[in-house]
């Protein structure tokens, strides 16, 4: 294994989040697992991370930017070959076994494999070459337009309520 490949693998394994940019699309943060020499993603189903609009089609290429788990800064950027795994294949079953262990708060953890086979896409992004040189400047982009809003100001009574809860917890600890 070359040093470049080792860097890609170690950095990607340790990072819980990567930025993926497909053909003609903006990068998006996605959770993943590293399995058998490639990054694996699941998404596009109800309640799963959106992959649509990233240009991640079978046979296409993508750019993966890996961040540092502790500092959050960019560590390495690499090019990947994208392949979509078929739900009835051994590769799909092996990847999903690792993915379901990383899927937090799944509403149907006991039937998640069935749902992913029926409604989601599982993608394999395999490193295809050397790493890219990271840019010096910021890669900040305009946020995606969304219906989400910022929260309202804190209610006036909340600080008193929180203080009362801390006081009660301290009393309970002294008993």
For residue 159, give the 3-state DSSP assignment: helix
Decide: 64 and 30 in contact? Cβ < 8 Å.
no
Whether residue 12 is predicted with pLDDT greater than 80 in this model: the reply is: yes
Whether residue 175 is predicted with pLDDT greater than 60 in this model: the reply is: no
User: Measured between alpha carbons, how far is 90 from 83 in angstroms, rounded to an integer?
Assistant: 14
Would you list the domain boundaries of the chain? 3-150
For residue 130, give the 3-state DSSP assignment: strand
DSSP H or E segment with residue 158: helix 158-174
What dotted CATH number matches 3-150?
A: 2.30.110.10
pLDDT digits (tens, 9 = 90+) for 72-105: 778 889 999 999 999 999 999 999 999 998 888 8
What pLDDT shows up at residue 174?
66
Decide: 91 and 17 in contact? Cβ < 8 Å.
no
Percentage of residues of the chain with pLDDT beyond 90:
45
Whether residue 133 is predicted with pLDDT greater than 80 in this model: the reply is: no
* Residue among 51, 46, 66, 38 nearest 124 (CA): 38
Distance between start and end Cα atoms, the chain: 60
What pLDDT shows up at residue 104?
83
Report CA 62 to chain centroid distance, whole Å: 15
What pLDDT shows up at residue 170?
78
For residue 169, give the 3-state DSSP assignment: helix
Confidence of residue 52 (pLDDT cuts 50, 70, 90): confident
Confidence of residue 127 (pLDDT cuts 50, 70, 90): very high
For residue 67, give the 3-state DSSP assignment: strand
The residues near 165 (Cβ < 8 Å, ≥ 6 apart) are: none
Whether residue 164 is predicted with pLDDT greater than 80 in this model: the reply is: yes
What pLDDT shows up at residue 131?
72
Percentage of residues of the chain with pLDDT beyond 70:
93
């Amino acid at each position: 294994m070359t040093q470049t490949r080792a860097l890609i693998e170690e950095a990607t394994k340790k990072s819980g989040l990567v930025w993926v940019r497909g053909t003609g699309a903006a990068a998006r943060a996605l959770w993943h697992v590293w399995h058998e020499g490639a990054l694996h993603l699941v998404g596009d189903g109800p309640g799963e991370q959106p992959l649509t609009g990233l240009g991640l089609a079978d046979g296409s290429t993508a750019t993966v930017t890996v961040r540092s788990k502790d500092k959050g800064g960019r560590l390495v950027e690499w090019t990947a070959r994208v392949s979509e795994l078929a739900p009835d294949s051994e590769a799909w079953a092996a990847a999903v076994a690792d993915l379901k262990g990383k899927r937090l708060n799944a509403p149907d953890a006991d039937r998640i494999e069935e749902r992913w086979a029926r409604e989601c896409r599982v993608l394999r992004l395999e490193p295809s070459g050397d790493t890219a040189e990271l840019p010096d400047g910021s890669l900040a982009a305009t946020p995606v337009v969304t219906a989400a809003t910022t929260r309202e100001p804190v209610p006036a009574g909340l600080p008193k309520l929180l203080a009362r809860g801390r006081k009660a917890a301290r009393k309970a600890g002294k008993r």
